[in-house]
Every structure is written in structure tokens, then in C-alpha cells.
Amino acid sequence: MCSYYVIPALFPFMALSVFICKSRAAEFFSKLFRPFTKLFKIPESCGGILLSAAIGGYPSAAKCINDSVLEGKIDRKTGARMLCFCVNAGPPFLIAAVGIGIFGSIETGFLLFSAQIFSAFIIAVLLSAFSKKRDFPKIPSAGNYRSNSALVIESIISAAESCFRMCAFIVIACGILEIASAGTFFGFSEEKPFAAAILSGFFEVTAGVFSCAEIGGFSAVVAAGAIASFSGISVILQVAAVTEESEIPLFPFIVSRFFHAGITAAILRIFFAFSKDTAAVFSANGGSVEAVLSASAPAAVSLLCMASLFLLSIVPPKSEKEPFLSRIWNKFNIFWHSQT
């Protein structure tokens, strides 16, 4: 499960997310996401974290939030609030592994991803409505970014550590799940696929969404969306491990998991209620996840995004008079001579 599904779908985008949060690209995305940071009542510098929440996979945004608290960009209370809507499944997992791999439909994958993002948006707006407007510390914008090579190395190492930690939690969660699903404690069996999927998803999200294949019909899609948004005990423990250093309170995040799952399921159920013809074609047909991931579409998209972010990260500050194209040429010359 880890080698075929989790690592190929999450590792490239985890590395990308860390790179976004720590490079000069964060300034670009902070400006791009300014309407959302204002709406959510969070610092403008958190634009990169919002992008990480959308593309990075479960622990990526949590790590960025943890680092922002340690750097003094946000306080623990704001970090706890952001965890409630920033910990989501990434698009490679929902679109490729779940949508195409399980339901045999890329449209289903995009529907799951859209429902999850809209659910997170609703939670963010509701939480901001009950939060007082605050003056966040002004973090001076940067001339002190580290070199791109150092950031790329740090991003890859951080993503590798996160994937290793995630796989360790998945193995433990699946071991507990095997005991529970055997009927020792709960008495759920394969004759009750919906109950088995919910039980699996409560412990581990990957096993849970794959169990939805046995449900069939659009109910399988609704259950998969709810499980992906809840994220499971395994992901909750991963977030706890990632944020341990910053000591962000996790109670709001744990409570939000149930609301996130319920809102996502409601959005999907409403969609199918108003799209009866569409609902009829949704059925779990057991597509080949290995074939989907071996096509390397997520890796290709990740590579293109990384290249774009690299160009953004070397945009010189306004105080520098060196032309942008000249700066790129000099970077290329340095790289070329280092290789030859």
C-alpha cells in the first residue's frame, strides 16, 4: 500500500510544498492568495501554506504551519485554527489513486477533490467569523533566502522523512485494523461493506477509501469523500508528531475532522441528488492504481510546478539592479560549469 499508492502520490508534492513555504516563491503566492488570507483572517505570509494545503497532502501544510509558529509568523492560536482547514488529501491521491484507480473515472477524482476543498473553505470561513481581527507581526520580506540548491535538498529530505513517518503510522494502523476487522472487537465483516469501510477509514484513510470499492454506486463516492476529509487516526497522529515542537493545541483540529467529513459528504450527496443521470454512472469498477501511478502524471505535473517555482524563487528583489534574464543566465552558467 505504501510503495504503490502513498509514496508515488504524495512524495513529489510534499517536497514541492516545503519548497513553496521556504523559498522566495512564498512571496508570490502570498500576494496571489491575499483575498483568501484576508477572508480567513490569517497573515498575508500564509499564502504559501494555503497552496500547500491544496496540493501537498495531509502532513505538508501541518509542517509549514509548525515552522511558521516557530519562526514567529503566526501564534499558536492561529496555527490551531489553520490546521482545521489546511490538512487535506492532495490531488494526486484523490484524482489518480482514488478517482481513476478505484472508481475508474477522472471526473470522480476531480469531484472528490473539489468537494474536499469547498468543505475546507466553508470551515475556514466559519472559523474566521468567530475569530477577532488581530494584528499579526510584520515579518520583513526577504533578502535572506537560502540558496535554491539548499532549499531543494531540504525539501526532498523533509518530504522523505514525512513519507517514512506516514508509512510507519499506516503499517501500525493497518495492523490494528486487521485485528478489528477480524471481528474480535467490532464484529464487522465483508458482508457489511459500508461499516467495514467506515471502520477502516477511522483508523487509516488509504485502507478506508480502498474499502469503499466494495460498497458500489454513488454511496461509495460519498463514503470515500467523507473518509478522505476525516483523514483517520493515522493522519491525526502524524499531525501531532509534526507539530510537537511548536506545541500547537490539537483539540480544535481533532473536532474539525468530524465536521470536515460531514460537510464533504453533504456536498457530494447534494451533487448526486441534483444529478441523477450522473449518479447512475458512478460505480466502483476496481481500476488499476499501479497503472495510473506508473504513468507518472503526478510526477510530471510536480516537475513542471517545481520548474516554475524555481524561476519565481530567483526573481531578484527590487533593490537589485541586475536584469532578471541576466540573473537566470548567470545561474545557468554556474550550474553548467559545476556539472562540467
- Which tens digits make up the pLDDT trace of 220-278? 899 999 999 998 888 898 898 888 888 899 999 999 999 999 999 999 999 888 776 55
Q: Domain for residue 305, yes or no? A: yes
Specify the number of domains making up the chain.
1
Most confident of 75-79, 163-167, 275-279: 75-79
Can you give the pTM of this predicted structure?
0.74
pLDDT of residue 115: 94
* Sequence-distant (≥ 6) Cβ neighbours of residue 94 within 8 angstroms: 109, 112, 113, 116, 228
Rounded to an integer, the average pLDDT of 62-89 is 90
Phi, psi of 156 (to 5 degrees): -65, -45
- Residue 293 in any domain: the answer is yes
Closest by alpha carbon to 208, among 191, 186, 233?
Answer: 233
Please check the confidence at residue 126 and state whether its pLDDT lies above 90.
yes
139 lies in some domain: no
Q: How many CB atoms lie within 10 A of CB 114?
A: 15
Q: How far apart are CA 126 and CA 242, in angstroms?
A: 25
C-alpha closest to that of 267 among 86, 97, 160, 114: 114
Per-residue burial over 147-174, b if 16 or more Cβ lie within 10 Å, else e, is ebeebbeebbebbeebbeebbebbeebb
Checking if the pLDDT of 5 tops 60, the result is yes
Chain mean pLDDT for the chain:
77
User: Between these two residues, 182 and 102, which has the higher pLDDT value?
Assistant: 102
Which one, of 85, 17, 22, lies nearest residue 56 by Cα? Answer: 17
- Which of these, 217, 306, 231, lies nearest to 261 by C-alpha position? 231
Retrieve residue 83's grid coordinates.
490546521
Q: Which domain holds residue 109?
A: 2-134+144-339
Three-class DSSP category at 157:
helix
pLDDT of residue 107: 87
Q: What are phi and psi of 306, to 5 degrees?
A: -65, -40
The answer to whether the Cα torsion of 300, 302, 308, 311 is positive or negative is negative
46, 74 Cβ separation under 8 angstroms = yes
Question: What's residue 136's pLDDT?
Answer: 59
Q: Which three cell numbers stand for residue 140?
A: 520583513
User: What is the per-residue pLDDT for 317?
Assistant: 47
Q: Is residue 234 included in any domain, yes or no?
A: yes
Model confidence at 26, in pLDDT bands (50, 70, 90)? confident
Interior angle at CA 106, CA 285 and CA 165, nearest 5: 90
pLDDT band per the 50, 70, 90 thresholds, residue 86: very high
The CA–CA distances, whole Å, from 67 to 32, 72, 154, 247 equal 21, 9, 13, 11
Is there a domain that residue 283 lies in?
yes
State yes or no: pLDDT of 184 exceeds 50: no
Q: Which residues contact 223 (CB under 8 A, 6 or more apart)?
A: 194, 197, 198, 201, 212, 215, 265
Pick from 237, 109, 229: nearest CA to 173: 237
Classify residue 259: in a domain, yes or no: yes
**117 located within any domain:** yes
Instruction: Note whether residue 66 is domain-resident.
Output: yes
**pLDDT for the residue 319:** 46
288 residue type, one letter: S
Question: In angstroms, rounded to a whole number, what is the distance separating the alpha carbons of residues 82 and 125?
Answer: 11
